[in-house]
Structure 1
Amino acid sequence: MSYSEFETSLQNGQPIRLYQFQRGPMKWGYTSANQNITHQSIVFRSIEGGIKDDGIRQTENTASDMLTLTVPQSLDVAQMYRVVAPGQTVHVTVFDLHYGDTGFLVSWMGFIVGVSFKDQISASIQCKNLSASLERTGLRKAWGRLCQHQLYSDACLVQRNSFKAVGSVDRLDGVSVGFAPASAKENGYYTGGYIEWTSLYGLEQRGIEAHSGDLLNIYGGTSGLSIGQEITIYAGCDRLFTTCKSKFNNTINYGGSPHMPGKSPFDGTPVF
């Protein structure tokens, strides 16, 4: 029987729902069934406490199509959000199929936007429909003196590997990281940049709020880091033309208008 035949059958259907989470190359699979299910070479695990959702909705308002999953709080996917949200987007795909049948339906696709720990047993995972990202207002370049480009992006074209330092964490205080190679550069060199390391769950990135000597203040704190762990740090940019010239030698790709006039054309002057 085909998937559609199972769906319309009054007695032969044995519906199963599979939940796939993907962060970069890493994938996790869980099922609502009472046993493990192998689908597309991935083992979807049956977990104690189960996994369930509040129903798939498809309306004209994507904001109301939020999918909420209830899972045990010990689940790997939930634990990634225990202290600080991961640096990479976690995508969610929901499959519907019937036990013993190879046919299936991709019934929902989206990404995690937040996790809340309701009690000592369960966690609530909020997921947004993939179509919600298509309805965001597109970025528009503003006219201003500061650069509009994201550092190291395809528009900026600065090669990040030329402005990195690799080494080990030598101390932590919950807010900042002691990192000896950072002292080789002047204070503020890494402000606005970020640190990068590999955790149990994949690649992690966190912004650098301030840099002074060998000390780096980290947005979101130092949770997930440990003394002796290897990290990579990348230089930051304050988006000024002088910085683009002296620090990155990249003025040809500067995304601002440093020579714009200081007088506004909207201040009422008849002739601008």
Structure 2
Amino acid sequence: MNWNQFEYSTNNGKPITLYEFIRNEQKYYRYTNADRDIDFNGVTWTSDAISNTGISIGTGNNLEITLPSTSDVVRLFRGIPPTKPVVIKMYQFHENDNEFRVIWVGKIQEVKRESIERAKLITTSVASSFERSGLRLTYGRSCPYALYDHNCRIRQENYKVADIEIIALNGANITVNLSNINDGYFSGGYMDFHIDGIQELRGLKAHVNNVIGILGGTQGLQKGMKINLYPGCDKTIKTCDEKFKNHLNYGGQPHIPGVSPFTIIKLF
């Protein structure tokens, strides 16, 4: 029998759902709703109390998945969530049948702790991204580009301050040893570091002396850890020129007149 015959059979169909969570295309978490571990497609899928709200026409692009709060996937979202979205792929096949189908592809949008022992994952389908409105470029004095993006054209590797050791941290700030770097140089920038071999990013707030504020706090960081720092930008033409020598790619219009031509000015 083929997959369709199993799927629509009232007697022979024994559906099994496989859940694959992918973090940064490096680490995989695989579960199944079967009553035992499943060896399928060359890997082992761990049996767990996992379920979903079901996929049907007209329910929108969201799918809710319930699993134990002790799951490794749920633990990723305790505190600061992963830098990059965690992708989920759901497969379905029938017992005694080697043919399987991909029934859902999406990303984890939110995690809700329903009870002490159970959590709910709110996922969004990849198809929902096709329904979003495109971004529109607006004009203003400050630069609308994101630092280091394809419009800004600055190569972050040219400004990376590598292998900086964390001397101390207090939950909101880290203390590092910086020499010959002015205050505010890293304000608005970011840092990268690795946890379990996976790169994580964290935004930087105010930089004063050797103390740097971390957006979201210092969870996951520890004393003695090596990090890479990248400077920030305040979106002004002065900083773009003096700090990065990138004024030719500046996206703002700093010489916009202060009075709008559409403003009604009464002379009398």
Determine if the TM-score, normalized by the shorter chain, exceeds 0.5: yes
Q: Compared with structure 1, are the counterparts of its residues 40 and 246 closer, same or farther at alpha carbon in structure 2 (3 Å cutoff)?
A: farther
Q: Post-superposition shift, 1:201? A: 7.3
Kept after mapping to 2: 8 A contact 1:206/1:219: yes
Q: Compared with structure 1, are the counterparts of its residues 137 and 184 closer, same or farther at alpha carbon in structure 2 (3 Å cutoff)?
A: farther
Partners of 2:112 and 2:84 lie apart in 1 by: 18
Partners of 1:260 and 1:266 lie apart in 2 by: 14
Partners of 2:208 and 2:235 lie apart in 1 by: 19
Q: Post-superposition shift, 1:265? A: 2.1
Partners of 2:64 and 2:188 lie apart in 1 by: 34
1:258 partnered with 2:254 = yes
Aligned to 2:137: 141
Partners of 1:201 and 1:100 lie apart in 2 by: 38
Partners of 2:165 and 2:3 lie apart in 1 by: 53
Say which is worse superposed, 190-199 or 112-121, in terms of deviation: 112-121
1:41 partnered with 2:81 = no
Kept after mapping to 2: 8 A contact 1:80/1:201: no
CA deviation map 1:224-267 (0-9, x unaligned): 11111111111111111111111111112111111222211221
Correspondence 1:104-119 to 2 at 5 A: 104-119=100-115
Partners of 1:115 and 1:24 lie apart in 2 by: 18
Q: Compared with structure 1, are the counterparts of its residues 250 and 40 closer, same or farther at alpha carbon in structure 2 (3 Å cutoff)?
A: farther
Partners of 1:201 and 1:40 lie apart in 2 by: 25
Partners of 1:120 and 1:200 lie apart in 2 by: 27
CA deviation map 1:119-173 (0-9, x unaligned): 2211111111212222222111101011111111111110101111121211110
Correspondence 1:1-272 to 2 at 5 A: 1-25=1-25, 26-47=27-48, 50-59=49-58, 62=60, 65-166=61-162, 167-181=164-178, 183-200=179-196, 202-268=198-264
SS of equivalent residue, structure 2 residue 106:
strand
Structure 2 gap ranges (5+) = none
Q: Size of the alignment, in residue pairs?
A: 264
| Partner AA of 1:197 in structure 2 | F
Partners of 2:176 and 2:121 lie apart in 1 by: 35
SS of equivalent residue, structure 2 residue 240:
helix
| Partner AA of 1:73 in structure 2 | S
Partners of 1:115 and 1:103 lie apart in 2 by: 32
Say which is worse superposed, 102-111 or 169-178, in terms of deviation: 102-111
